[in-house]
Amino acid sequence: MENETVSRNFIENIIDKDLAEGVYDCVHTRFPPEPNGYLHIGHAKSILLNYGLAQKYNGKFNMRFDDTNPTKEKEEFVESIKEDIQWLGADWEDRLYFASDYFQQMYEAALKLIDKGKAYVCDLSSEEIREYRGTLKEPGKESPFRNRSVEENRKLFQEMKEGKYQDGEKVLRAKIDMASPNMNMRDPVIYRVAHMEHHRTGDQWCIYPMYDFAHPIEDAIEGITHSICTLEFEDHRPLYDWVVQELEYPVPPKQIEFAKLYLTNVVTGKRYIKKLVEEGIVDGWDDPRLVSIAALRRRGFTPESIKMFVDLCGVSKANSSVDYAMLEYCIREDLKLKRPRMMAVLDPVKLIIDNYPEDQIEYLDAPNNLENEELGSRKIPFGRELYIERDDFMENPPKKYFRLFPGNEVRLMNAYFVKCESFVKDENGVVTEIHCTYDPETKCGSGFTGRKVKGTIHWVPAQEAKQVKVRLYENIIDEEKGVYNEDGSLNLNPNSLKEVTAYVEPMLAEAKAFESFQFVRNGYFCVDFRDSEENAPVFNRIVSLKSSFKLPKK
């Protein structure tokens, strides 16, 4: 972490104080995404934080779509977000809401502000509104339409609703203070004309509320007590409070800001991901090289690993960045005791045991996980011809290379000692066969103590092994160059995806979508739910086995 966490519990401290002082008698939180894209790992922090607070205080948690901007919103995004949140384990029970449920109440709230002399219809263009707004050093200028009568504002606003004006022709603005040091309080726009189809209300409305006006109303209507949001809304808090105060809600919600979760060397911006999808660089918003929640799920991350990651990051008031390696650490920690360790050969070369009976197949015992006996064991077929990893053999090895080379003996995992006697190359000098002899006295589990070997290698039986497609993922970003070029484009890693044909233990051919395994010495892999077929799984590498990452000392 680049910045020290101020307090893991500063939000809980605020809530404790509110409950003790009787400001609220319960805790009610919400997660309010705009359905304009897929959620990413940063959203997971907000989901789990809001849901976790409701759980901790025996309160309630709402799911609400902030669908006030129909230009970018789609039903596809609504469904993906619901699926992500349910997968993470956040249960909204029967409290699924949409901002569009409240359009009539928001319209009436705007009329109430007009009647109080706190809102007016303005004819300035968006460019003129910007000019009139002033700067951080200079106060803004009042709109020439600021002092319209209540009656005129009511009439004009009604006509906006009835569709008598074009997009951008008129807006409704809050009447606050054009000299406020906070730019958000300089008569912000709270309603705009927008003649467009809404994914839920169709063409029922041609005026839509702005987020800063809609959001506090939604919170107040739903009885939200603590509106937890990210730091970029800190300067918007005075406007949030102004809206709920002027609309005279009896128990106004309280906005609390926390720092966003930033991951190093990843792409989270929706416009960048959209471009990657449209250009075919990735195969969708859930491409396993991305860090959308859907992509992490497809790659094989678990809800438990995401929760562990969010917990390790903590809750802070200071912006900070977290190394992606921490997320990888969490999935390794979660899977290492849960998943069976199977044998798979990703870059195969044939190994022939010349003194093993040609037609014999025997079934050897193999533990499913040496660190967790409760996962039991399995039988694996063993025969004369096997596949091993190509880099487990070298013709001229360096010092301290303990795997196969001419004259050396190694153990075949869960099987026998074999000694390399010879090898065969093709016309290009590529090794195609390795010939060995085995010692039948050295069967694994036999108690053999005659001699020791320094190397153990994994294998699969050539005759019974199943061919599968395996995808080896690396970061989609070229980490040495950073995420962005000077022109704002992405620094993409041309080697972010490598597909290989691998040989795996026979039972892995029956693996189902989302099932995950450790492939001995190769990493953790998950069955891709999109491209796998029955008895033909496609495996995505979730994460490699080793990392230099260490948890920071507390």
* b/e burial code for range 394-407 (CB count within 10 A of at least 16 → b): eeeeeeeeebbbee
Per-residue pLDDT of 262-273, as tens digits, reads 888 888 888 888
Q: What is the distance between the alpha carbons of residues 536 and 339, in angstroms, rounded to a whole number?
A: 20
Helices (H), 21-98: 41-56, 75-88
Per-residue pLDDT of 237-281, as tens digits, reads 999 999 999 999 999 999 999 998 888 888 888 888 888 999 999
Q: Give the confidence band of 450 by pLDDT, cuts at 50, 70, 90.
A: confident
Per-residue pLDDT of 65-112, as tens digits, reads 999 998 888 899 999 999 999 999 999 999 999 999 999 999 999 999
- Could you tell me the residue ranges of all domains in the chain? 10-258, 262-335, 348-461, 466-543
**Spatial CA neighbour of 184 closest among 157, 156, 208, 215:** 215
Place of tokens 């968006």: 126
Tell whether the torsion through CA atoms of 74, 79, 80 and 82 is positive or negative: positive
- Which CATH architecture is the domain 10-258 placed in? 3-Layer(aba) Sandwich (3.40)
**The model's pTM:** 0.90
| Percent of all residues in the chain with a pLDDT value above 70, rounded to a whole number | 97
Per-residue pLDDT of 102-135, as tens digits, reads 999 999 999 999 999 999 999 999 999 999 999 9
Q: What is the distance between the alpha carbons of residues 206 and 187, in angstroms, rounded to a whole number?
A: 22
pLDDT at 550 over 90: no
Reduced 3-state DSSP string for 495-544: CCEEEEEEEECHHHHHCCCCCEEEECCCEEEEECCCCCECCECEEEEEEC
CATH number of 348-461: 2.40.240.10
pLDDT at 2 over 50: no
pLDDT at 209 over 60: yes
Work out the average pLDDT over 464-486: 90
User: Comparing 10-258 with 262-335, is the CATH topology the same?
Assistant: no
Look up residue 255 and give its amino acid.
Q
Answer for the pair 473, 299: CB distance below 8 angstroms, yes or no: yes
Q: What is the distance between the alpha carbons of residues 299 and 286, in angstroms, rounded to a whole number?
A: 9
Q: What is the distance between the alpha carbons of residues 204 and 70, in angstroms, rounded to a whole number?
A: 12
The pLDDT of residue 554 is 53
**Strand pairing category for 385-389 and 466-473:** unpaired
Judge: domain 466-543, CATH 2.40.240.10: yes
Helices (H), 208-352: 211-222, 237-246, 270-278, 293-299, 303-313, 324-335
Tokens standing for 83? 């699926």
Per-residue pLDDT of 398-411, as tens digits, reads 999 999 999 999 99
Q: Give the confidence band of 481 by pLDDT, cuts at 50, 70, 90.
A: confident
Per-residue pLDDT of 354-363, as tens digits, reads 999 998 999 9
Q: Give the confidence band of 5 by pLDDT, cuts at 50, 70, 90.
A: very low
Judge: domain 262-335, CATH 3.20.20.140: no
The pLDDT of residue 489 is 83
Helix/strand/coil percentages in the chain, nearest 5: 30, 25, 45
The pLDDT of residue 541 is 98
Q: Residue 495: how many CB atoms within 10 A of its CB?
A: 10
Q: What is the distance between the alpha carbons of residues 62 and 462, in angstroms, rounded to a whole number?
A: 54
The pLDDT of residue 321 is 86
The pLDDT of residue 422 is 97
**DSSP secondary structure code for residue 374 in this structure:** G
Per-residue pLDDT of 371-427, as tens digits, reads 999 999 999 999 999 999 999 999 999 999 999 999 999 999 999 999 999 999 999
